[in-house]
């Protein structure tokens, strides 16, 4: 080492640089790395655009997503192709598809975010408890996680939704209840490694309660992978909701669910009326792509080791 003065120089240079700079949190670091990732930013913009469209839907379109224009305007309003009046065309009832796609974003986002929140609320504590205590508690929880993983995901949700009356709330809960296992598994793994760290030992030595150790010292340090996992799950859940609605078990008409719109339009696809299915299909693709790119970018940004 001593024979390599150039190397010595370089380390001192970085050291001095660090001294000049103000302390940067992990989150700030992550944000800077994320901003450099063009794909991830593209994902973020996609999500932001769709969220804004969903929030301000009534200001973007002058139509109502439920109004069936055929009763007043007759056959002219039925399945009319995309035009200046109806940007994405109309469906068999004369409803404006552009409007329904925008309002449909509300449903997809709601279900995506709400059910992932539910699975985070279940998965994080269970994963943390399993990882921290180990032993029998860990065995039981891990066993539960494996059971959930062993179930065919779609079938399990289908069974719940088919048995209970269809409603948005039940969809959130049904998907959330099935979805927590992957988050719990990530948290458990993280906690297993974090709990061996010196600062945890220190907290323990100071006599902190288990609750305090887990929530104050361990959880903040496993948050990054949870956020990554949750973002990626949102995309999955949106796909799942679309699949359920396509099969007729999801959101019930007349709610403008994208999956349901694709299913209805499918019957008219070969008759040349492509717009009814294609536009909601593109919308699903965009939103899921957005969340997945963002999730991947977050993983790279928050856990740089993983990339190397």
Partner 1 sequence: MLKRILAVILVLMLVAGVLAGCGGGQQATEEPAKEEQQVAEKKDGKYGGIFRKAIGANPPHLDPVHATDTTSAMIIYQIFETLVGLDSEGNLVPLLAESWESEDGKTFTFHLRKGVRFHKTIEGGTPTANGGREVTADDWVWTFNYICDPETKSPRAYFLDMIKGYKDYREGKVDHLPGVRKIDDYTLEIELEYPYTPFISVLAYNAFNVLPKEDVEKWGDEFNFHPVGTGPFKFEEWVQDEKVVLSRNENYWMKDEEGNQLPYLDGIEFRVIVDHTVRWTEFNMGNFDGMQEVDDPYYHEAKEKYGDSFQERPMMGTYYYGMNVELEPWKGNKKLRQAMNYAIDREAMIDLVKNGRATPAKGVLPPGMFAYNPDLKGYSYDPEKAKELLKEAGYPDGINITLQYNTSDGHKRIAEALQQQYKAVGINMDIKNVDWGAHLDSVERSEVPLFRMGWVVDYPDPDNFLYVLLHSDNRGPQGNYTRFSNPKFDELTAKARVETDQEIRKKLYQEAEQIVVEEAPWVFIYHYTTHVLNQPYVKGYKLPSFGEYSAKYTKVWLDK
SS3 content of the chain, % helix, strand, coil (to 5): 75, 0, 20
- For helices 97-133 and 135-150, give the axis angle rounded to 10 degrees: 150
* 41, 49, 57, 92: residue in contact with partner 1 (rule CB under 8 A): 92
Which CB, 88 or 249, lies closer to partner 1?
249
Q: Ramachandran region of residue 22, left (φ > 0), alpha (ψ -120 to 50) or beta?
A: beta
Residue 50 near residue 105, CB atoms below 8 Å: yes
Closer residue to partner 1 (CB): 66 or 215: 66
Using CB under 8 A, pick the residue from 5, 135, 152, 165 that binds partner 1: 165
Minimum Å gap between C-beta 248 and partner 1 is 6
Cα separation, 108 vs 209, whole angstroms: 41
The region of 9-17, 61-69, 127-135, 212-220 touching partner 1 under the rule CB under 8 A is: 61-69
Compare residues 94 and 225 and give the one whose CB is closer to partner 1: 94
Nearer to partner 1, 43 or 281 (CB): 281
Closest approach, Cβ 251 to partner 1, in A, equals: 12
Residue 217 CB, shortest distance to partner 1, in Å, is 42
Find out whether 276 and 261 touch, Cβ atoms under 8 Å.
Answer: yes
Considering only the stretches 73-81, 152-160, 176-184, 234-242, report the one whose residues sit in contact with partner 1 under the rule CB under 8 A. Answer: 73-81
Q: Which of 31, 42, 66, 156 binds partner 1 (CB under 8 A)?
A: 66
How would you class 152 by CB atoms within 10 Å of its CB: exposed for 0-12, middle for 13-18, buried for 19 or more? exposed
Distances (CA, A) of 82 to 9, 76, 87, 268: 66, 13, 5, 15
Site for partner 1 in 184-223 (CB under 8 A): none
- 89: tokens are 């065309």
Query: What own/partner pairs with CB < 8 Å and gap ≥ 24 does 191-197 have?
Result: 191/127, 191/128, 191/130, 191/131, 191/132, 191/218, 191/222, 192/131, 192/134, 194/218, 194/221, 194/222, 195/131, 195/132, 197/221
Q: By CB under 8 A, what part of segment 234-253 binds partner 1? A: 248, 252-253
Minimum CB distance to partner 1, residue 97 (Å): 15
Q: How far is the CB of 225 from partner 1 (least distance, A)?
A: 33
Note whether 274 binds partner 1 by CB under 8 A.
Answer: no
Shortest distance, position 227 Cβ to partner 1, whole Å: 37
Burial 207-219 (b: 16+ CB within 10 A, else e): eeeeeebbeebbb
Q: How far is the CB of 62 from partner 1 (least distance, A)?
A: 19
Tell which one of 8, 29, 32, 74 touches partner 1 (CB under 8 A). 74
Chain contacts with partner 1 (rule: CB under 8 A):
66-68, 70-71, 74-75, 78, 92-93, 165-166, 248, 252-254, 264, 267-271, 273
């Amino acid at each position: 080492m001593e024979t390599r003065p150039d190397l010595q120089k370089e380390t001192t240079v970085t050291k001095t640089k660090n001294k000049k700079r103000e302390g940067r949190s992990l989150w700030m670091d992550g944000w800077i790395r994320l901003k450099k990732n063009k794909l991830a930013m593209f994902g973020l913009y996609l999500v932001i655009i769709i969220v804004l469209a969903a929030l301000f839907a009534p200001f973007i379109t002058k139509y109502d997503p439920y109004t069936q224009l055929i009763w007043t305007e007759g056959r002219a309003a039925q399945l009319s192709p995309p035009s200046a009046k109806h940007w994405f065309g109309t469906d068999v009832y004369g409803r404006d598809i552009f409007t329904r796609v925008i309002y449909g974003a509300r449903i997809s986002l709601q279900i995506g975010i709400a059910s992932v929140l539910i699975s985070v609320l279940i998965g994080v504590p269970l994963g943390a408890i399993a990882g921290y205590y180990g032993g029998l508690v860990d065995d039981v929880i891990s066993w539960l996680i494996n059971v959930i993983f062993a179930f065919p995901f779609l079938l399990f949700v289908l069974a719940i939704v088919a048995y209970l009356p269809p409603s948005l709330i039940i969809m959130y809960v049904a998907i959330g209840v099935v979805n927590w296992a992957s988050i719990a598994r990530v948290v458990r793994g993280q906690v297993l490694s974090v709990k061996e760290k010196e600062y945890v030992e220190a907290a323990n030595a100071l006599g902190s309660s288990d609750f305090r150790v887990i929530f104050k010292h361990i959880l903040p340090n496993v948050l990054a992978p949870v956020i990554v996992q949750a973002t990626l799950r949102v995309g999955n859940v949106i796909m799942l909701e679309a699949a359920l609605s396509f099969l007729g078990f999801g959101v019930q008409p007349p709610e403008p669910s994208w999956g349901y719109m694709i299913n209805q339009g499918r019957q008219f696809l070969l008759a040349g009326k492509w717009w009814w299915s294609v536009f909601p299909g593109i919308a699903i693709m965009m939103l899921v792509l957005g969340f997945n790119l963002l999730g991947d970018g977050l993983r790279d940004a928050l856990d740089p080791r993983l990339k190397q």
